[in-house]
């Protein structure tokens, strides 16, 4: 990802957010993984806050 960010002259976090939005808005990926909201909070919120 860093090589791509350097080649495009963009910050790596911007590319990560854009890629995540693209995956999240793709209909095939929405039905691939279905987790209840409490599980999502327990899995992803602590690392984000850390």
Q: What is the mean pLDDT of the segment spanning 25-50?
A: 81
Distance, in Å, from the CA atom of 40 to the CA atom of 45, rounded to the nearest integer, reads: 8
How high is the pLDDT of residue 31? 74
**Every domain of the chain and the residues it spans:** 2-49
> Torsions phi, psi of 24, nearest 5?
-65, -30
Residue pair 12/5 in contact (Cβ under 8 Å)? The answer is yes
Higher pLDDT, 24 or 38: 38
Q: What is the mean pLDDT of the segment spanning 4-8?
A: 85
Closest residue by Cα to residue 10 from 25, 23, 1: 1
Binned at pLDDT 50, 70 and 90, residue 49 comes out as confident
How high is the pLDDT of residue 35? 80
Provide the whole-model pTM.
Answer: 0.56
């Amino acid at each position: 990802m860093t090589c791509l960010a350097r080649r495009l002259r963009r910050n790596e976090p911007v590319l990560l957010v854009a890629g995540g939005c693209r995956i999240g808005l793709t209909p095939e990926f929405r039905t691939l993984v279905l987790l209840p909201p409490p599980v999502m909070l327990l899995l992803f919120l602590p690392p984000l806050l850390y």
